[in-house]
Amino acid sequence: MMARRWLARLHFYDLGGYCLALGLLLCALLLPPVGIPRQAYDYLVVFDITQSMNVQDYEIDGVPVDRLTYAKRAVRAMLPRLPCGSRIGWGVFTEYRTIVLLAPVEVCASYNDLVASLDKIDGRMRWGEASEIRKGVFWALRAVRDLGGETKLMFLTDGHEAPPLDAMRPAIAMFDDLTAGMVAGWLIGVGGQVPRLIPKTDAEGNVIGYWRPYDVIQRAVQENVPEAGSREHLSAMQEAYLQALAQQVGLEYRRLESFTDLRGALRDPRFAGRAVAPTDVSWVPAVFALLVLAIRFRPVRD
């Protein structure tokens, strides 16, 4: 009689353990993501798409690539490294304007859309052949300010102004509605230090030659007197100019030499914020279910 009662109780405990494990596994399958606050980043990334960005002075896996391609690949490599809750948007610069193509969206939920839209950014979007970098940065600052929130700016450019700035005149003042430091972020210098010929492309992005000295406006040190040795048909990254521009508008500056340079910039803790990100916590009840089953089937010593 006692043995029968003991066996019945043991069967009851076994059944209860199985039901508990099953309930926990069902919870793991059905539990929706939970919003958890975490450190996140919010950027509008603007690419210079002017023709000087077609200069090939980078390599990826031993294959020469142009500046714009390298900048895009560096940004794409960073997307999976940004924590969920972070937001990224795209913009482009040419002539003297910056245009927002995609307002910042959440990285994890929109990853495929971000990658697909990033791949479509190229020089065929140009609406002009000028490259007034300083004005483009001012327009980018306006765009970020108008987005509101905690959005930061990352502007990637080689700093090649075309037509060239007059060396005898002071720097162009910021727009009246902007002040230095109003928008935080980065000015990223893209390109090599050695001046190279600038490929000339048609509306479809095909290279049809190279810009020559007589095709472009050369820099002058005083009115109507060409500067000896002016080579505006060649392009190198203008680091000193970009550093001065970053200081004028209140941005940080960094040179893009490798993908890791962009990693440190995008994830700089000074520009981090807090965001509630949907987080998968289904592993918690799944772990408890496994624990229940492990206890049930643990070896028993005689």
Residue 161 covered by a domain: yes
Looking up residue 158, the CATH number of its domain turns out to be 3.40.50.410
Note the pLDDT of residue 3. 46
Report how far residue 9's alpha carbon sits from residue 58's, in angstroms, rounded to the nearest whole number. Answer: 74
Q: In a structure prediction context, what are the per-residue pLDDT tens digits for the chain, which is 302 residues long? A: 554 554 444 444 566 666 777 776 677 676 666 566 678 999 999 999 999 999 999 999 999 999 999 999 999 999 999 998 899 999 999 999 999 999 999 999 899 999 999 999 999 999 888 899 999 999 999 999 999 888 999 999 999 998 888 754 557 888 899 999 999 999 999 999 999 999 998 888 888 888 888 878 787 654 454 445 678 889 999 999 999 999 999 999 999 999 998 988 999 999 988 665 566 656 666 676 677 667 766 665 65
Residue 188 covered by a domain: yes
Residue 236 covered by a domain: yes
Count of domains observed in the chain: 1
Report how far residue 7's alpha carbon sits from residue 9's, in angstroms, rounded to the nearest whole number. Answer: 5
Tell me which residue of 159, 139, 160, 169 sits closest to 216, measured CA to CA: 160
Residues facing 253 on adjacent strands:
187
Residue 178 covered by a domain: yes
Residue 201 covered by a domain: yes
Note the pLDDT of residue 32. 67
Report how far residue 82's alpha carbon sits from residue 113's, in angstroms, rounded to the nearest whole number. Answer: 15
